[in-house]
Amino acid sequence: MRNSNRTNKFIVGVLVAGASMSLTTSVTAQEGGELHADPATGIVYRKQIRQVQRPVSEVQMKTREQTVYTPKAVVETKPVARTSYVPVTTMMLRPHLEGRWNPFRQPTVAYRHVPETRWEARSEVVHQTETRVKWEPETKLVQVPERTLRMQNDQVVQYEPVGQLAPQTQSLASTSNIRPEIASRLRPIDSNAPIQPITTGADQVAAASLATRERPRSSLQSGMRATELAPSNPTIYGPPTTGTTVAGLPVISVWR
């Protein structure tokens, strides 16, 4: 019964894995695009290029015909009929009575010239000069700016995250105890080349102080490198291989 249940679970797992693989393949085939991976994070992106339409406004200079009215002074002389009134004086003989009020003589009728003025109308033609402004139309070709709106197709590149790279084994550069820029400068040398120990000012001062006084530490406290996580002798510092407890470990002498 247990074997049959295990067999059924195994078959169901195989079917689910196959369905997920086929689904992943169909999505990739439909979406397409190049895949790019970020080496720092391991995230995989799909590069997609899309066509986007955006309105673009342009200003174009076009030639148009335009009618312009220009002022022009025109001098014209026209004949004008003018009527004027002129005074005319004539001498008229008019009778009058002389000696009417003289008691010593007999009144008599006498004639004398009396001026008489009248107004006569006279018509004459006069040439009159007139200046006026005349607007003359003139057709010119002018450049007129015209704004047009058109749709432009632009390509937009987008990166869509689709997954993450599978974890891989670490390289030698990542597991090294020195920095990568130092490891890249290392070169192989001959095994018979003379090598001197590295001594600094601090090492010389420590050696001089150790020569003048007693060593404060025992041989068990010589120290380890920072990259070593466990000592080479597991019987002293490592955990017990048997089923003993902490009380069964050997006593370690510590000198400070």
pLDDT band at 191 (very low <50, low <70, confident <90, very high): low
pLDDT band at 168 (very low <50, low <70, confident <90, very high): low
Residue 80 lies in a domain: yes
pLDDT digits (tens, 9 = 90+) for 37-91: 888 887 888 888 888 898 999 999 999 999 989 999 999 999 999 998 999 999 9
Q: What pLDDT is attached to residue 176?
A: 57
Q: What pLDDT is attached to residue 67?
A: 92
- Average pLDDT over every residue of 212-236: 53
Residue 3 lies in a domain: no
Rounded to two decimals, the pTM is: 0.27
More confident: 233 or 182: 182
Residue 116 lies in a domain: yes
pLDDT band at 177 (very low <50, low <70, confident <90, very high): low
3-state DSSP of the chain: CHHHHHHHHHHHHHHHHHHHHHHHHHHHHHHCCEEEECCCCCEEEEEEEEEEEEEEEEEEEEEEEEEEEEEEEEEEEEEEEEEEEEEEEEEEEEEEEECCCCCCCCCEEEEEEEEEEEEEEEEEEEEEEEEEEEEEEEEEEEEEEEEEEEEEEEEEEEEEEEEECCCCCCCHHHHCCCCHHHHCCCCCCCCCCCCCCCCCHHHHHHHHHHHHCCCCCCHHHCCCCCCCCCCCCCCCCCCCCCCCCHHHCCCCCCCC
- Average pLDDT over every residue of 90-108: 88
- Average pLDDT over every residue of 160-169: 74
Residue 228 lies in a domain: no
Residue 118 lies in a domain: yes
Give the structural domain span for 119: 70-142
CB-based burial, 121-158: b 16+ in 10 Å, e otherwise: eeeeeeeeeeeeeeeeeeeeeeeeeeeeeeeeeeeeee
pLDDT above 80 (res 243): no
Residue 127 lies in a domain: yes
Residue 93 lies in a domain: yes
- Average pLDDT over every residue of 201-220: 54
Residue 223 lies in a domain: no
Number of domains comprising the chain: 1
pLDDT band at 103 (very low <50, low <70, confident <90, very high): confident
Q: What is the mean pLDDT of the chain?
A: 73
Largest CA distance in the chain: 202
- Tell me the HSE value of 12 on the side-chain side, using a 13 A CA sphere: 6
Among residues 160, 68, 80, 85, the alpha carbon closest in space to that of 126 is found at: 80
